[in-house]
Structures are given as structure tokens and as C-alpha cells.
Structure 1
Amino acid sequence: MPTSRRSVLASAAAAPIASTVASTVGQAQRPAAAGAPSIVKPLPPERFVDFGTNAEMRWDSVDPRRYLTPQADLFVRNHTATPTIDAATYRLRVFGDGLREARSEADAVSLSLRDLRRLPRTRLTAVHECTGNGRSFFASQQGQTVSGTAWRLGSVGTVEWEGVRLRTVLRRLGLDRDAVSIMATGLDDPFRSGTTDYGRVRRPFPVTKGLDDALLAWGANGQPLLPDHGFPLRLVLPGWIGIASIKWLGSLEVATRELTSPWNTTFYRMTGGDYPADSPPLTVNPVRSAWELPLPAILAAGRTHTLTGRAWSGAAPIARVDVSLDGGATWRRADLDDRHPHGHHGHHRRDRGDRGHGWTQFSVRWPKPRPGSYQLLARATDRAGRTQPDVSPLNAQGYFFDAVVKHPVTVV
């Protein structure tokens, strides 16, 4: 056993070791005729739009009474296919010259799931969102052509992750004072596009983020991760774009130089359209909001409706949501529900670093609307002062559609 690993175990806080759950892998296999072969969990058409390697949660299937997004309903974004991994033999490999005791990849520290579960654990609630969420509105609302999966607003959810802080692991292994970058690499199959093999999905992030709120998660909403969502271990970078939270985490390289991969040099950065060629890689998600209604929606005339929705931001909690029920002619302030009713796992301490990375539910009463056609608008503002614009800047990949969505409603 490597010295570094021994020190991790020796200094681990005494905590009950949850049994590893390899049995969850391979269960609920979908029949071949059910849809995308790259996704394991069922994708019932009333709750999902099946895009092949990806699946979008139908936003109008969201239960307004439920704060957290069940894993069964969470969107899936795969580059290749969900792998089957045995938790009993799984190892996270940590190496690089950014460790106090520099290690080559061949001499990586090897940590089992049991090793990690012996460390102090925490739960952290955060929005998990694909960078392309809302992409289809570049075309439908702004008349612009972009490439990529035509998500509406359902490639997002809020999850209560369970795991160990990455800083806990890094500090026990020991960091070099000059460490600046960490590369997270997944265990899914290498990604190929055309004649190019890009290798395994991987993306770097700063050591400062790793020491701040990054989490190595083995659970979600009180349950083990489902295979499609990273079982047995995934990285979670709260507030950052979904690709940064690498699933099926296989290794972490800690380096004293800036690391790069195609996922931050070629993909997941703004190119084309309104952006210069040297735009930096994307990190923090923008401000967004969505009504919990079908798109388009039909409502009954002559009765008072309580309309609900959700707003979220990668940078800060939501400060306010302004809504218009008449296409922007008049605006009013929506009521916000900040109770976040998800503290039902009392035996785990709530981490003080849980800074409100979840979404905020909002509501507004619409007294007896008359028959006709309407446009509902919602504009969220976060506590960092960021507000949804009327138009999202164009980029070739259709990332970060954060404009106010014009939601058509017919009252009959």
C-alpha cells in the first residue's frame, strides 16, 4: 500500500463504512427497442425526450411540490455510452507533480470506494445543468442556427449530492505549493468524432476550485448514484457547467502547470457568432428561469391560476424573479420560496460550504384571465447582480442560452 494512501486511511475520521453497491450496476437494463442503447435507465416518453446518447427531462413533468430532481428523472448527457463498473474493484487513481510526493501515472495513489467512504462525508445541494440547456431557443426565438442537441429547458436538475470534499482528499495526500491545475478523467469509452479519437472524456479545473467546494460524490438524494449519473463515483463542481463534473471518475492528475484537454480548448468554449476566437473556456453557469408549464400551455378561462417556476444561477442564489403575463407590457415581482425542503437526511451534517447552489422556486397568481393568446415571461436576477437578458449572444455551439424565454399560453 502506498505511503500516501496509508496516511489517508490513518487520518480518516471514524465513520461507518456504507456497503458498496455494485449490484445497482446492470439493473434496470432497458430493452433494445426502448430507445438509446447508450443509456441504461428507463426513458418513459411522458418524462423524457430521447436524443440517442442524450435524454432530456420534459420540463412539464416536473412536480412543483418536489424540490429535488429524482435521479430517475434527471437528464442524461453522454459522449459515448454508460459504462458498467464494479464498485468492489473500482479505484480512483491520483497522481501528478502537483502532489507533495510527486507521482507518475504508473505510480498513482489508488483509492477504493471504501477508502473514500471512511473520510468525513457531507451532502451538498446544487443545480446540475448541461451547457447547452435552452439551445433550441437560439433557433425558435432568435432565428439563429447553432449545432448540438436541441435541448429545451430540461437538461437541468437540482440534486443533493453525497460524498467527500475533494480538499479533504488532497490535503491528506499532500499538495505541492505550486499546484495549479487538476485534470479529471472519466472511465467511459473514448470519444470519437469523424476520424478523430479525442480519448476519454476529461477536463481540467483550477486547484482553487478543488480546494473550495468540489465534491467526490457517490450518492444522490440519499441513494447510490445510478449508472447513467456516474456510479460509483463522480466529480461535482457546484455552479459550473455539467461537463466539468466528470462522471465515472477514474483519475485525477494534479499538476504544477496549466493542464488542457479538447473539452476546454475545442469544446465548451464560445466560438463564432458574437465571440472572439480567444474566448476562455466556460466555467460558471449563467442565470436562467423556467415556468412549470407545457410549452405551449393551455389554461382554463374564468378561474384564478397559481403559476409556478424555478430560477437558478451558477454564481449566486436567486435574489428576485420578475414576471410578465402579457408579453412584457407589464411586470410584477414573483413570490420566492427559499425554504429548500430537502433536509430530510438528519444523520448527515449539512456542510457549511453549501452556499445555496440549488434553484429557487417562484410563483405568481393570475386572477381569472380572459380567453386569448398570451406570452409569459420570467426574468431572474441573482445576488451577484446578474440578470437574464432579452437576447442571448450567438455562438456556434449554442451554449448558454440565458435570455428570457417567451412562453406561449392559450386561455380557453
Structure 2
Amino acid sequence: MINNEGNTMSINDSPAIASQSPAESIQMSRRRLLLGSAGAMASVSLLGLSPLAKAAEPKTLPDYVRWKNANDVIVHSANTIETERGAIGSGVVTDSDKLYVRNNLPAPNADIVADRDAWKVTFEGVNGPQSLTLGDLKKIGVETVTTVLQCSGNGRAYYQHGPGGTQWGTGAAGCLIWTGVPLREVVAKLGGVKPGMNYITSTGGESLPAGLDPKTIMVERSIPLKALDQALLAWDMNDEPMPLAHGGPLRMVVPGYFGVNNVKYVDRVAFTEGQSDAKIQASGYRIRPIGEKGAPDQPSMWEMPVKS
């Protein structure tokens, strides 16, 4: 939440206005209103509420997103790329070449999209656990949905307390068309969810650096089981094969949930009793008081609240 504080006064409180004729008073009132508005805008800028996302010097697009329109995006880093506010447009669907990118790890090698149908996903916590290829999933069912995708940090540049992380302006969001198989249909094919399971835990297939505890860096998110009815294992985005930059060959898409829960390169879906103990779940993406560290007992950034 961003709270703005300021002092106000009635324009009729001024002695100068009290001595003017009605016409002069109206003209003076208008002048003061315009000056006050200009001052307010300047104050807002000084408070850090003006768009701050634009880098001082434009950075080059990384190779894996070289196909995007460089004039329509802001490159914060190789893993964080924002849509320019002026490029968002007024249409419902966001063009793929303008869509923001947020990766918690470097994107995998492009080899994984060379043979998309060979991509394999392991399903656990169901009565008939097994691994299925993307080709297998396509035979189970297909559905197309249109949803808003948004990073939970969208708008961070406007927060007065100066939080860390990418200083997103307004462009870490978009509206996309996804095509894939409903997760509920896959689960039905595998005999249903085992009793006592409370969460859907999705794991990304990024390569992990050697010598580090995988739990500290892996992308693995748990969301409430109630999301099963809406979740989609998507292989197409905007009527084209899912780009590598956006999770191809296969991405977990959960309508209404923040982007981090829409796990890219998903290669494991487990129905679990508790939430993942991976750092990104246990302490990351938690709603916490300013200055406190994230912890499992804090609310997780799951469903997106209305912002306007």
C-alpha cells in the first residue's frame, strides 16, 4: 500500500482572494488550483512515485529473448524484463514480443524445445503415479483460457519504503491466451488425488548449479488444492508454441494466481500434504511486515488481489 500525505487549505481562506471581485476571485482560484496541482505533481515525483523503471542506459536483450521488440521493453537484467508502459496498449491480449519476463533462474538451454512432445513430467501424490510426456498429455484433453499474468512485485518502484528487488514500474503484467490440458483431467486419468493431500506442488526443470543445496535455489511452488479445477498444463501461448522465455515447452498456468505460482519448464507435479520446503516457498514470496524476513507462518503470495 502506498500512502500519500499532504496539507490542504481552502482557496477562500486567503485574504488576497477575499478582497477580489467575483470574476477576479474565480480567475485567482483557477490560477492557485493550477499552481497547486503542479506543486503536488512535483511532490509526488520527489517522493519517488514517478515511473522509475526505465534504466539510465538501455541494456541489450539477452539471446533467449532477442526476438522481442527492444523498443517496447525495459531490460532490468537478463532475468527481469519489463513492458514499456506506452507499449502495453489498449487491447485485451498482450503481444508475446512485448510481454514481461521474470525468471528466478537462468532460462534452460534451447535444446529443451527442440522436441517439445518428448518433454516429460512426473506426477506424484495420485493413486496412479507415473511420468507422462507432453505428447501423452496432448492426448488427454485440451482447453484454452485467457488470463492475466502478473509478477507479485509489479509496481515496486512506487513503494516509499524502498524495498529491494527489481524496481518494476507498471509493466510486469500482461494478459495471455493459454492452451493446454486441464490438470484435473490429468489427475482423473491417474486415478485421482490421494486422500490427505492439501497442496499442488510444481517443480521447474531449470538446471541447478553444482555444489549448492537445491532447496535454496530451485523453483518449486505449492498452492492450495482448490486451484485444481482451474490449473492448466499449457504448451501454447497466444496461439503459438510456448516460447522458452515464458516457460516452454510446458508451463503450469493457474488463473488468478501471481506469476511465480505459474511454474515454468514444469517437470514435476506433486500433490502434497504440506507446502514445499524449498526456499522460494518457505520464506520467499511471503506477505510480511516491513523489515522482517519471510517465514512459513506468513501469508503466501498466491491469489492476486484487485489493484484498481
TM beyond 0.5: yes
User: In the alignment, which residue of structure 1 is the partner of 2:101?
Assistant: 76
Distance verdict in 2 for CA 1:203–1:221, change over 3 Å:
same
Whether 1:152 aligns to 2:188 is no
CA spacing shift, 1:81–1:38, aligned 2, 3 Å = farther
Determine if the alignment matches structure 1 residue 133 to structure 2 residue 154.
yes
Q: In 1, distance between residues paired with 2:155 and 2:178?
A: 24
Q: Is 2:201–2:275's contact at 8 Å kept on the other side of the alignment?
A: no
Structure 2 distance, partners of 1:203, 1:157, is: 21
Matching residue of 2:87:
61
CA distance in 1, matches of 2:185, 2:256: 20
Match of 1:51 among 76, 81, 84: 76
1:183 alignment counterpart: 201
Larger radius of gyration: 2
Of 187, 192, 207 in structure 1, the residue corresponding to residue 225 of structure 2 is: 207
Match of 1:114 in 2: 135
Tell whether the 8 Å contact from 1:48 to 1:58 is kept in structure 2 after alignment: yes
Moved over 6 A (4+): 274-277
Report the Cα distance in structure 2 between the residues aligned to 1:37 and 1:166, rounded to whole angstroms: 32
Look up the match of 2:300.
281
Aligned-residue CA RMSD in angstroms? 2.5
In 1: Cα distance, 2:96 partner to 2:123 partner: 28
Q: Partner residue of 1:319?
A: none
Q: Against the structure 1 CA distance between its residues 56 and 251, is the aligned structure 2 distance closer, same or farther, given a 3 Å change threshold?
A: same
Matched, 1:245 2:269: no
Residue deviations 1:263-312, cap 9 Å, x none?
A: 22211002331889642111111222xxxxxxxxxxxxxxxxxxxxxxxx
For the residue of structure 1 that corresponds to 2:227, the secondary structure is helix
> Cα deviation per residue 1:357-408 (whole Å; 9 max; x = unaligned)?
xxxxxxxxxxxxxxxxxxxxxxx3xxxxxxxxxxxxxxxxxxxxxxxxxxxx
Structure with a larger share of its residues in strand: 1
Compared CA separation, residues 125 and 145, structure 1 to 2 (3 A):
same
- Aligned 1:7-406 pairs, distance under 5 A: 35-37=60-62, 39-52=64-77, 53-64=79-90, 66-83=91-108, 84=110, 85=112, 86=114, 87-95=116-124, 98-101=125-128, 103=129, 109-138=130-159, 143-174=160-191, 175-190=193-208, 198-210=216-228, 212-273=229-290, 278-288=297-307, 380=308
Partner SS state of residue 186, structure 2: helix
Given the two structures, how large is their TM-score scaled by the length of structure 2? Answer: 0.72
Secondary structure at 2:248 match in 1: coil
Provide the secondary structure at the position in 2 that maps to 1:131: coil
Letter matched to residue 239 of structure 2: G
Describe the superposition over 1:195-223 as per-residue Cα deviations: whole angstroms up to 9, x where unpaired. 7752421111222212x201110111211
Distance 1:151 1:39 in 2: 21
Q: Count residues with an aligned counterpart.
A: 242
Identity of aligned residues (%): 28
Any gaps of 5 or more consecutive residues in structure 2?
Answer: 1-57
Q: What are the superposed Cα offsets for residues 156-204 of structure 1, whole Å, 9 maximum, x if unpaired? A: 0001111111000011101223222221011113379xx7752421111
Q: TM-score, with normalisation over the residues of structure 1?
A: 0.55
AA aligned opposite 1:280: P
Separation in 2, partners of 1:257, 1:80: 24
Residue segments in structure 1 that go unaligned for 5+ positions in a row:
1-32, 104-108, 289-379, 381-412
CA-to-partner distance for each residue in 1:22-47, whole Å, 9 max, x for gaps?
xxxxxxxxxxx972547434344420
In proportion to residue count, which structure has more helix?
Answer: 2
Distance in 1 of aligned mates of 2:249 and 2:68: 21
